[in-house]
Every structure is written in structure tokens, then in C-alpha cells.
Amino acid sequence: MASSETLLAYLSQLSGNRSVQADVDYSWRSARAAYRLAREAKDLKRAAADPRVRRRIWHSVLAARSAVDAIRRGPEIEQRRRRRRPVLLAGAAIAGATALALYPDLRNQLSRPSSADPA
């Protein structure tokens, strides 16, 4: 049962990690492109010598290796992102409310309707 548990761990890692998903997808697409290019060649010898086919196969292998390495490493602990924008907005709101509370002239100026009529 250890092999099925290992396979289940790999599948859960694949489903939860976007980097692994992207690597597997790129590997699959590169392999399909290499196969398509190789089928267009006149014979197997020309397909093997075609630099485009070889480059696609190499990219496919690198992406697959990267995905396997990421799965072997296991889930990486994501660092918490610092949410600066909400903190800055909250600070600005608190500063504005404090200014309105401390300066009654400012409060009166903001609550008074404008005397300049644009009409």
C-alpha cells in the first residue's frame, strides 16, 4: 500500500501546486509539438537531426524534470504576503477621522455647502 499512498501524495501535490501544473502542461505541449514536427519529417533520420524537434524534446524533458523535482521537494511553505494597501488605507482613514475630531474649523468647512454656484 505504500506505493498507492506515495502516488496519492504526488497527485495531491500536483493538484495543489500551480508551478507543478504549469511544468507538466508545458512538458506535455512541448512533447506533442515535437511529435507533430517529427511526423512531418520525411524519415526518422531527418526527424532526429531536426534542431526544432530536438529543442522541443529538450524543453519537454526539462519541464518534466522540474515538475518531478518540485513534487519530490514537497509543499513549500509560502511566506505570508504583507498587505500594505489595506493598512495604508486604514491609516489614512484614521488620520482623517482624527483631523476632523481635533479641528472643528475643518469639520465646519467640510460640512458647509459651497457658496460658489457653477450655474
pLDDT in tens, 32-86: 999 998 988 888 888 888 899 999 999 999 998 988 888 777 766 555 666 777 7
Q: Are residues 62 and 91 in the same domain?
A: no
Domain count, the chain: 2
Establish if 78 belongs to a structural domain.
Answer: no
Q: Please, are residues 37 and 56 in contact by the beta-carbon 8 Å criterion?
A: yes
- The confidence score (pLDDT) of residue 1 equals 47
Q: Are residues 25 and 51 in the same domain?
A: yes
Q: Are residues 62 and 104 in the same domain?
A: no
Q: Are residues 62 and 96 in the same domain?
A: no
Say how far apart CA 89 and CA 83 lie, in whole Å.
11
- The confidence score (pLDDT) of residue 61 equals 92
Q: Are residues 57 and 92 in the same domain?
A: no
Q: Is the pLDDT of residue 21 over 90?
A: no
CA atoms within 13 A on the CB side of 55: 4
